[in-house]
Amino acid sequence: MLLGIVLCAQNSGLRARCTVLDENGAPLEFATVAVLSLPDSTILCGGMTDESGLYETALPEDASLVQVSMIGYGTVEIPSSELSVPKTVQLRPDAKMLEGAVVNASLPRTEIKGDAVVTNITGSVLEHSGNALDVLGKVPGMINKGDGLEVIGRGVPQYYINGRKVTDNSELRNLVSEDIRSIEVVSNPGALYGGDIRSVVRIRTVKRQGDGFSFALTSQAKQHIYSCSDLEPSWSVLDLNYRVRGWDFFGKLVYWNNRSYQISTIDGITSLEKPDGYHQFREKGTLDYRNHMGGFQFQGGANWQINENHSLGFKINRDQGSFGYGRLVMNTGIFLDSVQEDYLSTTNDSRIPTNTQWNGNLYYDGNVGSLNINFNADFVNGRYDSTNEMKESSWVSPAELSSVQKSETYLGAGKLVLSLPVWKGKLQFGAEETYVRAGQTYSITFSDIPDTDAFLTENNIAGFAEYAVALPFGQFSAGLRFEHADYSYVDKLAGGASVQKSFNDWFPSFSFATMAGPVGISLSYTGKTQRPDFNMLSTEMSYNNRYCYQSGDPMLLSEKRRNASLNANWKWLTFVGNYERIDNYFVQWTTPYNDEGVVLIKLANLDVPLRKMSFYLIAAPTAGVWHPSFTLGMEKQFLTLSLEDPNAEGGRRSVSFNKPMYVAQLNNSFRFKNSWQLEANYSYISRMNTSNAEVYRPIQNASLSLQKSFLKDDALTFRLTWEDIFNSSAVYARMDFGRYMIDQPNDRFNSCVILRVSYRFNSASNKYKGTGAGQSAKSRLR
């Protein structure tokens, strides 16, 4: 069949080009286009539309009819003679399959399409929700867990805007909701993505036409409620674009200025083994941490749309941390068998001088007949330095220490993806290679901790293939990815001691989506991995205080993850379910380092599998000016560990960490006349177990936002937010490691008032099609 389609494309003299739109005029991806001969309706060739709704092919001489279809929409048939010029085809929802569907224009329409839960933003209340981050927190399939946005049950996603990977949050901050067409949440991405990409969010923007200059500026200032800092800018993003005769010249300037606070109480108990038996060592006190960092980011690039079939471009980015400092103060009493032996007061001042990271991308995207070629080449080069000055007062032996840490990373990557229509679907296949070299040095004075001078290299070669097809009964895709990785770690100060490892991994993927009457259903399965961040593989042992050291482990194994997902959508209800098994799960494990009370925090793999299950129901009805979105869910892990404990019978005890987490998220938007919008949001996360930790106090967050837009097309927008009104997002947790247990309530004082101002002039997104290479390795360069 593949040979037949290719020959069909080569032997035809007439080229057909058709763009498929939905009832709102938005491009429809994954619509099926079949070229038929009459009278027997034999399929001569065909395929699926791309993200812009476009399908292009050469018509055989005996072509009579072109049939355009998609699940949930009525089928359209066009005489092939009408395709001698580019044709636009608009599909309408199938009245029978979508019976009872909501047609209120202010209600976001959520659908199951292929591998994704898709929410259309244009024409809904979400069109006026602020920036992309504000919108993402309200779409089905996403949830805000306090520290950031996650795909339900699948963690922090990798974001794409019009197929281009988002490299930092500034792109999401400066993308206003009015420019977003739709958001696709993919809980099980297929073989085209890296083996450790667990979830993906694809953002499609409104296509703006015409040449000329455009820009967008967003600035935000923040006032913390429970701190002494003044109102100050926290970030600003300026995007520039100039389009002329097929060229796009673009640039970006970002300023960021972040403060963070944390106050904790610490109660850590260690079972020490001494010559006369086991003793209880206890460190109890307080921790106060304050951090202030800032810097700039510069980006520039160009995109050349040579013609409708070929484009290429480049971009280069420089991140520069201009300043950074932090202060950690710990005051702790030291007890041995309930008798206080010392009182330790530690002040750690850290300084981060100017640090830089360069990264760039070069791409080509083109069509040769029915074959699409997409090539990307990427590089990253970064340097990070920090110094620490520590003073410790003690009843026994006061001390002053200083440490210096330096690291440098280099990454080079290339990725080639070929796509072509096969039968009624689309086949994508290709290869990717990523090379990383990372070096690190660490030295400390007046301590028995050894210095480190080490480097690691990793070379990853991958091959992948994925096939997607729309059949009368549903949309089906299957893929397979193979990765071979060679890893080496060398410590120059340990006599050149090295660790050499190689990995060969297969990652299958599968998804199926269909309509059961008015209900959209999708089922998917993926095999994934999670490779350790590169700093997790270091032998460097860092000094926290005289009773706590911290280290990585070059022998750390990659996690193996297998996930099955079930999604369903009916009217304004969406259901999301996940089940996942994780082998070699990463944990920061704390054990006694010596018999003097020092503990070592070290990365480790659990020796038993961790299983997770989650179920969420999202309701987004509407009532006049009120547009609520309610999320209710449960996540539960299944984990039982056998822990070493000299106080237990037989020296070990079995502990289960199976307490489920219940989640409620209530978002309320009120859209009024004259571009006024009020939002009142609340989230609740119950007590729970996560890994070997117990969160023993609920986490809550209530916020209010008031937004007003001015000028034509709401070009100027002011948004005022009071975040974490009751300062109730503190995390109270205890962890059990067997011979060491710690109880640590953490209050981060997140309550703050935020003022954001955004302005758009001649809004236009650039046509850059670079999707990037080596994304999995980049995410590990932390």
Query: H/E element holding 346?
Result: strand 339-351
Contact call for residues 18 and 68 (beta carbons, < 8 A): yes
Percent with pLDDT over 70 in the chain? 93
- 13-17, 111-115, 737-741: which range is least confident on average? 13-17
What is the model's pLDDT at position 54? 82
Instruction: Name which of 763, 679, 754, 680 is nearest 714 in CA terms.
Output: 763
Contact call for residues 551 and 542 (beta carbons, < 8 A): yes
Write the pLDDT tens digit of every residue in 195-226.
Answer: 889 999 999 988 766 678 999 999 999 988 87
Instruction: Name which of 729, 741, 653 is nearest 693 in CA terms.
Output: 741
Length, in residues, of the chain: 782
Contact call for residues 18 and 87 (beta carbons, < 8 A): yes
Confidence of residue 103 (pLDDT cuts 50, 70, 90): very low
Q: Tokens for 612? A: 């997770």
Question: Would you call 318 helix, strand, or coil by DSSP?
Answer: strand
Residue type, 431: A
Contact call for residues 274 and 280 (beta carbons, < 8 A): no
Instruction: Name which of 266, 140, 208, 165 is nearest 665 in CA terms.
Output: 140
Instruction: Name which of 100, 94, 137 is nearest 119 in CA terms.
Output: 137
- 50-54, 263-267, 651-655: which range is least confident on average? 50-54
In DSSP notation, 38-78 reads TTTTEEEEEEE--TTSEEEEEEPTT--EEEEE-TTB--EEE
Instruction: Name which of 764, 770, 767, 766 is nearest 164 in CA terms.
Output: 770
Between CA 726 and CA 713 the distance in angstroms is: 35
Confidence of residue 275 (pLDDT cuts 50, 70, 90): confident
What is the model's pLDDT at position 45? 72
Taking 50 as the threshold, does the pLDDT of residue 99 lie above it?
A: no
Between CA 661 and CA 148 the distance in angstroms is: 17
Confidence of residue 8 (pLDDT cuts 50, 70, 90): very low
Distances (CA, A) of 397 to 263, 339, 365, 391, 549: 26, 18, 66, 11, 18
DSSP state for residue 265 in the 8-state scheme: E
Write the pLDDT tens digit of every residue in 305-356.
Answer: 999 899 999 999 999 988 889 999 999 999 999 999 999 999 999 998 778 9
pTM metric for this prediction = 0.87
Top-confidence residue, 13 or 453: 453
Taking 80 as the threshold, does the pLDDT of residue 3 lie above it?
A: no
Q: Which residues pair with 312 in a beta bridge?
A: 304, 364
Between CA 529 and CA 504 the distance in angstroms is: 11
Q: Tokens for 578? A: 């996940």
Average pLDDT rounded to a whole number, residues 182-205 = 91
| List of E strands, 621-751 | 626-638, 640-644, 652-656, 661-671, 676-685, 688-690, 693-695, 699-710, 716-723, 731-736, 740-747
Q: Tokens for 547? A: 């009773």
- 22-31, 252-261, 401-410: which range is least confident on average? 22-31
Helices (H), 142-279: 170-173
Count of CB atoms situated within 10 Å of the CB of 522? 23
What is the model's pLDDT at position 260? 86
> Within the chain, how many helices (H) and strands (E) appear?
4, 48
Contact call for residues 162 and 205 (beta carbons, < 8 A): yes
Peptide bond before residue 39 is cis, with ω within 30 degrees of 0: yes
Q: Tokens for 465? A: 């293939």
Distances (CA, A) of 604 to 82, 161, 293, 591: 64, 36, 30, 11
What is the model's pLDDT at position 526? 96
DSSP state for residue 170 in the 8-state scheme: H
Instruction: Name which of 32, 29, 55 is nearest 162 in CA terms.
Output: 29
